[in-house]
Structure 1
Amino acid sequence: MKKIMKQDQDVTKQHNKQMILDIIKKQRPISRAEIAKITRMSATSIGRFVSELCEEGLIRETELTSSGVGRKAIMLDIEPGAIYTIGVDMAKKRISFGIMDFSEAIIAQHRMDHKTQDSTPEETAELICNEMEGMLKQTGIPLEKVVGIGIGMPGVINYERGIVQLSTTLEWKDVAFASLIEKRLQIKTVIDNDLKVKILSEYLYGSAKGSNKTALIGIGTGIGSALIINGEVFRGGSNSAGELGHTTLDPNGNLCECGKRGCLQTYIDENSLIMEARRVKDVSDVRQVFAAARNEERWAKEIVSRTALYLGITINNIVCMYNPDTVIVSGDLVENYREIIDLVEEHSDQVIWEPFKGKFRVIPSELKGEAIVMGAGALAMQHFAPLAGTWAEES
């Protein structure tokens, strides 16, 4: 019985210590007295936990003092260089990296061209590890200060086991990718679907900040979505929730790479836009379609308008299923042709079910190309930072 009581006390202490660290992270700089007010804990308990966190190098006293009447109080802040994580964004033709410090700021970034389909997973893992080591050497950050690596990638990911179950974009199946990184660098690694990583970053740092329920639609070489509810990413039974691209619009429609006909992505992803455009003009890049639309070329404007209509239908389906307060539209399509948001809103009058009209907002991604790197770094921070046992629940 004593042993159980001791364990309960240890869990409570750990929880309280995490809560104080989390408050300092979110409201820094902050005084001990302000923490006591928020937590309703005694000054003695606050002092003890703060001392431990200072000794562990996670927080520090600043030169700032509280303003107002009465005795001046020394303010507390995070020690940004206490620990680091690395966020990685793996796409079809490039890999992006970012080093995140303990204050959750990206302090160094790097991007490289790499066609994953031309390499084995082992070769890609080796390349990623070499690039990360080079970044750390360049910034002077010791390897032992990196507590975790987060990687966002397209496909169906077994998030708990670190396995890429299927990624048609990368042409991988049943690849234990997290362990390949861990074995090489001896740093804990977590992998996840890129849009789930992206919506986490939008919730923490971008467009979805303050939202209770946000849906994100990603449009690129494929179509996907993600949902975050009160800070928790909705994963579904096998972390596959959000595979919008393979919902059926027309069972007799265009043939999809998955073998079915009429999948949504065959109507609005980049490849479908290029194929449609080639019926009229020789184009090799979707940006040429956007440029032609801006140049008032009728064929291009019709393609973009049709895409906006299908996107409006997609938003209606998501809103009917999940009733979010915010829908974020992201990806190259939006980042290179922001006018499409206005077109989507025009079409929404036709396709959004009446009870939901005016009950949610449609906005572009705020973080753009940095979102996955930031989200992957934050994911690693949630999992592997000190006191991370309660981190994901509290943040």
Structure 2
Amino acid sequence: MKPRAGSKALIREINEALILDILRTQAPVSRATVATQTGLSAASVTGITGKLIRGGLVVETETVRDTGGRPARLLELGLDGVFAAGVRLSPTEALAVVVDLRGGVVSTHRESLASTDPADAAEAVGNAVRQAAGGKLSQLIGVGVTLSGIVDQASGVVRHSGALGWADVSFQALLEDVLGEAVVIDSYANAYARGLLFDGSFTVSELLVFSVGMSLGAAVVVEGRIQPGFNGSAGGFAHSRAITGAEPVRLCHCGAEDCLETRGSLWGMRHAIERSGGTARAIDHELDHEVISKAAWHLGVGMANVAKVLGPEKVVVGFAPEARLGTFAEQTKESFLRQYEHSNTPAPQLETTVTDHVALARGAACSVLGGLFTARESQERSA
């Protein structure tokens, strides 16, 4: 990628992102290799990498000797200079992780919530980050926070979170007041997708990522980038209308009736058990196999409907640890693939996995790291 035109500060930031991304994906590399791949002059590469070394983002490692030339020092990302924090916020706790520039988790901390009031939640997030960061607090470049619901990342507003009972909460501003750090907020599904994209786990550029747990979510990846949609509405398939047949309607926490959330999420399954005369309790994959089977059918149909509209090359379904209910994942996959039996196009690749809570917190931290390595995101931040 060639350097772009614009103000000197913007060009410098973009060129730094280009160099850092090469080191992230190819290190250790020489300055000559960096110059060749970026199109920058040798003098520019030397100047920019010198600044990055002084800032702790880059370090010199081994020495290699070119034929007939003087030895060259190879470069790679520094792992002790700067860090990012990520937090998975649930109704009961804030799980914070601190990661290095390669996305490796170096520390974690769990902080209980006094309540789901936004102020209490922000305080718990702040405490969790400070405890996880410890002596590295001054080296943080930002904090990413992920939560269940529809999140407008651009404005920093949680449009709706059934799990937390929030609607139109300006949570980013609240967090930045508490932390005194730049904060990025996003949904569980988007955070998980960002972690996968940061790691280069998939070579495909058209991807759908679904999260299945107490609530449902989706991330839409087009040309390798997560699409937020207008007001952060992309991926809100949890509140699309479920196919219900002759069953009585189910009221969703969003106020509508028969959302997919009422059928395919753990929240929906628990309410189904209570409606049938059961007591409030954890779902048991042996006792509640019929409820789980119905949920898997609805979930598979809902995911296939989204996939048929967007036409991704691959679909990843991340089940929260608490959603590991017997054959729930297998039945969901079977329901999804069945929707393509008479399709004119083949079903996309489908992969099911378990998304542990640390992975979501790490994905939130990768939302912060992404700005360092992506020239396009750097340009948007500077605009």
Q: Amino acid of the residue matched to residue 133 of structure 2? A: L
Give the Cα separation in 2 of the matches to 1:221 and 1:44. Answer: 54
Give the Cα separation in 1 of the matches to 2:322 and 2:272. Answer: 18
* 1:16/1:58 CA distance change after superposition, 3 Å: same
Instruction: Return the offset for 1:393.
Output: 7.3
TM-score, with structure 1 as normaliser: 0.83
Correspondence for 2:254 among 228, 252, 258 = 258
Give the Cα separation in 1 of the matches to 2:339 and 2:379. Answer: 37
Q: Amino acid of the residue matched to residue 303 of structure 1? A: V
Instruction: Return the offset for 1:151.
Output: 0.8
Correspondence for 1:235 among 207, 228, 244 = 228
> 2:181 aligns to what?
187
Q: Is the partner of 1:164 in helix, strand or coil?
A: strand
Alpha-carbon displacement from aligned partner over 1:150-190 (angstroms, at most 9, x marks no partner): 11112232322322233222122333222222223321112
Correspondence for 2:240 among 237, 247, 255 = 247
Q: Amino acid of the residue matched to residue 180 of structure 1? A: L
* 1:18/1:169 CA distance change after superposition, 3 Å: same
> 2:120 aligns to what?
123
Give the Cα separation in 2 of the matches to 1:390 and 1:226. Answer: 18
Give the Cα separation in 2 of the matches to 1:69 and 1:336. Answer: 57
> 1:169 aligns to what?
163
Correspondence for 2:153 among 156, 159, 169 = 159
> 1:303 aligns to what?
291
Give the Cα separation in 1 of the matches to 2:187 and 2:55. Answer: 33
Larger displacement relative to structure 2 (155-164 or 223-232): 155-164
Q: Is the partner of 1:238 in helix, strand or coil?
A: helix
Percent identity, aligned pairs only, is 23
> 1:144 aligns to what?
138
Alpha-carbon displacement from aligned partner over 1:61-91 (angstroms, at most 9, x marks no partner): 11x2348966553211111122112101111
Say what the alpha-carbon RMSD is for the aligned residues. Answer: 3.1
Question: 1:289-368 residue pairs with structure 2 within 5 A?
Answer: 290=285, 292=286, 300-332=288-320, 336-337=324-325, 339-352=327-340, 354-355=342-343, 358-365=346-353, 367-368=355-356
Count, aligned residues:
373
* 1:56/1:317 CA distance change after superposition, 3 Å: same
Instruction: Return the offset for 1:105.
Output: 1.4
> 1:216 aligns to what?
209
Q: Is the partner of 1:23 in helix, strand or coil?
A: helix
Whether the aligned pair in 2 keeps the contact of 1:18 and 1:390 (CA below 8 Å) is no
Give the Cα separation in 2 of the matches to 1:7 and 1:204. Answer: 27
Give the Cα separation in 2 of the matches to 1:212 and 1:321. Answer: 16
Whether the aligned pair in 2 keeps the contact of 1:203 and 1:210 (CA below 8 Å) is no
Q: Amino acid of the residue matched to residue 239 of structure 1? A: G
Instruction: Return the offset for 1:313.
Output: 0.7
Q: Amino acid of the residue matched to residue 135 of structure 1? A: A
Whether the aligned pair in 2 keeps the contact of 1:223 and 1:265 (CA below 8 Å) is yes
Q: Is the partner of 1:41 in helix, strand or coil?
A: coil
Give the Cα separation in 2 of the matches to 1:183 and 1:113. Answer: 20
Whether the aligned pair in 1 keeps the contact of 2:321 and 2:356 (CA below 8 Å) is no
Whether the aligned pair in 2 keeps the contact of 1:14 and 1:387 (CA below 8 Å) is no
TM-score, with structure 2 as normaliser: 0.85
Q: Is the partner of 1:354 in helix, strand or coil?
A: coil
Alpha-carbon displacement from aligned partner over 1:230-257 (angstroms, at most 9, x marks no partner): 2311111111112212111247632222
Alpha-carbon displacement from aligned partner over 1:329-372 (angstroms, at most 9, x marks no partner): 12337852474343234334532263466441111236532232
Give the Cα separation in 2 of the matches to 1:11 and 1:281. Answer: 60
